[in-house]
């Protein structure tokens, strides 16, 4: 039997970061390698453009220097020239890094950065996410990060800048997806959740399992600093 070391171990340090444009192919290749047939097959240029716009994220195990997760905000114009839409996708975690709540934390960081920190958010911009039927993994992370279900949608070839043939069943022309939309009223709650995690919990996640207790430290300060969160919390208290 080949021995493979665990993807995450006790005392590992995990970093959520914005992917540099020069490294956009790393999350692209990561998703290609681990895609279980439940994600859009986005072309490489989508990742390059997202990295350029500071909307490509990766999750790195700093202790082992291995990539363990990704997320991308793919910009697209909606039906109206005055309303922009963005697709929240590419949510992929290595199977060995699932079950720790890092995916939920990543989506919260993505949304707070997109709406509050990036400077690219437009009034009325819609943030959407789509999950293929039967893939329940991302749903909890989306709901925890302020997304609301808005029903089923059918995506046809050519509807998005991605290949979906691997998701379409035989004799069908579209893939049925569960649609979710971000509720902007949730943004203050997400800011508070990240502030609490960074300040009160000191960025620590604890889990117990068959292999024993695991204590991970998650750092997202290169995306959103604790000082920025402190400022946001003070502004929220002042407005109340």
Whether pLDDT at 3 is above 70: no
Contact 96, 87 (CB under 8 A): no
Q: What is the pLDDT of residue 170?
A: 73
Structure tokens at 184: 């902007």
Q: What is the pLDDT of residues 167-178, one digit of tens each?
A: 777 777 777 789
Q: What is the mean pLDDT of the chain?
A: 87
pLDDT tens for each residue of 105-149? 999 999 999 998 887 777 778 999 988 776 777 899 999 999 999
Domains of the chain, CATH where assigned: 13-151+181-239 (3.40.630.30)
């Amino acid at each position: 039997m080949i021995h493979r070391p665990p993807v995450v171990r006790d005392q590992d340090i995990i970093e959520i970061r914005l992917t540099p444009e020069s490294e956009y192919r790393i999350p692209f290749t990561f998703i290609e390698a681990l895609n279980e047939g439940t994600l859009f097959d986005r072309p490489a240029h989508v990742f390059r453009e997202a990295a350029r716009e500071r909307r490509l994220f990766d999750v790195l195990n700093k202790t082992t220097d291995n990539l363990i997760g990704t997320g991308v905000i793919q910009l697209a114009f909606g039906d109206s020239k005055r309303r922009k839409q963005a697709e929240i996708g590419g949510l992929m975690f290595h199977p060995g890094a699932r079950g720790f709540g890092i995916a939920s934390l990543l989506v919260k960081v993505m949304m707070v950065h997109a709406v509050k920190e990036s400077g690219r958010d437009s009034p009325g911009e819609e943030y959407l996410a789509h999950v293929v039927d039967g893939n329940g993994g991302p749903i909890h992370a989306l709901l925890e990060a302020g997304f609301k279900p808005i029903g089923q949608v059918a995506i046809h070839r050519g509807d998005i800048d991605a290949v979906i043939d691997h998701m379409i069943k035989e004799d069908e022309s579209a893939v049925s997806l569960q649609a979710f939309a971000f509720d902007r009223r949730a943004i203050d709650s997400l800011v508070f959740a990240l502030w609490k995690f960074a300040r009160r919990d000191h960025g620590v996640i604890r889990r117990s399992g068959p292999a024993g207790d695991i204590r991970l430290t998650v750092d997202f300060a290169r995306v959103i600093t604790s000082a920025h969160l402190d400022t946001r919390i003070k502004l929220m208290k002042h407005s109340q």
